[in-house]
Chains A and B, each alone.
Chain A
Amino acid sequence: MTWEWLIKIVQNNWPSFLRGAWATLYISIIGTILGSLIGLLIGTIRTIPMPDRGLKRIVLKISNVILSMYVEFFRGTPMIVQAMVIFYGSAMAFGIDMDRTIAAIFIVSINTGAYTAEIVRGGIISIDKGQFEAAHAIGMNHTKTMLHVVLPQVLRNILPPMGNEFVINIKDTSVLNVIAVSELFFTTKSVAGNNYRYFEAFFVASILYLIMTLTVTRILRFIERRLDGPENYNIIPGNQMQVERPEDLLHKDKSNTKTGI
């Protein structure tokens, strides 16, 4: 490797590199977001308590089988193979030539969905049973319990593995070059080929990948810390209600409820 070549490659091809990096970034961002939503939905559905009987039970049973097949299939096969099957399969089945970027986002999304469905399911299962019981005890049904008590905690807890998925996606979009999506790996390959300088071109690409993954990791750390809120709380001094004694308040409340207010 020579510094001259490295500098020359960057100077002559930086728009290609940036375009590739940008494609990689937005395919993995959109793919991760859509995939997380799919995973959230599926993970939540798969943890719905099974009713004792009735139509609901049958519907839930069938959808659980389908969803677990989906999860198993996409976790059990390489994304590079999925890309080929989906892209060429759709061309064969429907005679359509899928837009390559849309195909890329589609593949990353459903692949991420399969992984995050399990992350979400694990996150829900690991929430203390007492949280569910306390929510039920104040009259929340399953949906309200999930929305207002369980899922917010799950989302916080699964942020690190979700961030991990994002980082994996940034790297793994490189396999999409097999369906000629012009992400960073693909553009780097053509830069390298045009100049016959493989090492230098891919060295630049590796730096770009590293910048993207490190930035994403930092941003996610920051979000985690923000979500956790301040370490300490402030005591609210001197509440105006304290002029009344607690007992008085209770008695007053009793008379209030009797008169139906």
Chain B
Amino acid sequence: MENVIEIRHLRKSFGTNEILKDIDFNVRKGEVVCIIGASGSGKSTLLRCINLLEKPSGGEIIYNGENILDDKHDIFAYRTKLGMVFQQFNLFNNHDVLSNCMVGQIKVLKRSKEQAKEVAMKYLTVVGMDQYINAKPKQLSGGQKQRVAIARALSMEPDVLLFDEPTSALDPEMVGEVLAVMKELAQSGLTMLVVTHEMGFASEVADRVVFMDKGVIAEEGSPEQIFNHPTQERTKEFLKRVLR
């Protein structure tokens, strides 16, 4: 399978504090990769470096055969190819549900209003939020917000969808509805990179699980390998702690 994104020797420091140390990994087309690891291990930082919300300190991010960290690269065009779903939803507060899913299409992708609306409706239907198009973000529950945020990302029709702990800010009874949508997306063949604390989701849905520890990828493999036959001592320790 071809690689959508290749990450080589990625490093990131905040001041003298080195958060990511020489990260190497690829995301293949159609693959669902789950990133797990302890709090502070650098999972969010890795995801944010991939779409350049954080500026990497070194290394390469190869997309379509080009290193997007080259100065000349158009990072705005690149970002439209990556959808991002945040832990805190971050829906645009000044737009209603439909408009949240349209504004990027119209202003960035230069789609017509009609086309943008059609695409937005399609993905709002996918996440089951098509009945709420007139609602403002503050009128929705957390689970509903996150589903709209997923539809907003999908509406840009990106090559990869990045999720940063999409269910961590949700009340327990709403976690299920969001995971169900994500599962459906995974099965439809979407390429997804998911930082998650939901080990059940990772073991069920992921094609590959990446375990991060203190800024490095300590171990990666199939869910079966990572969850049932981890080879690294720190992976075993981490799993013992979270699966208790």
Contacts and interface: CB of A to CB of B under 8 A. Distances in A.
Contact of B90 (A134, A232, A241, A257): A134
B84 A236 contact: no
B88 interface: yes
B228 interface: no
Interface residues of B, number: 49
Interface string B57-83: 000000000000000000011011011
A137 B51 contact: yes
Contact of B84 (A134, A233, A247): A134
A-side interface size class: 35 or more
A237 B53 contact: no
Given A140-B104, A144-B108, A156-B94, A134 B86 contact: yes
Interface in B82-108: 82-84, 86, 88-96, 103-104, 107-108
B76 A246 contact: no
B197 interface: no
A247 B188 contact: yes
A211 interface: no
Contact of B92 (A135, A233, A242): A135
Interface string A142-174: 001000110011001000000000000000000
Given A148-B103, A148-B107, A137 B122 contact: no
Contacts of A235: 131-132
A251 interface: yes
B134 interface: yes
Given A139-B79, A153-B93, A253 B122 contact: yes
Interface string A211-237: 000000000000000000100111111
A239 interface: yes
Nearest to B139: A233
Contacts of B93: 131, 153
B188 A233 contact: no
7 contacts: A137-B83, A149-B103, A233-B134, A239-B131, A242-B125, A246-B184, A251-B188
Interface of A: 128, 130-131, 133-141, 144, 148-149, 152-153, 156, 229, 232-237, 239, 241-242, 246-247, 249-251, 253-254, 257
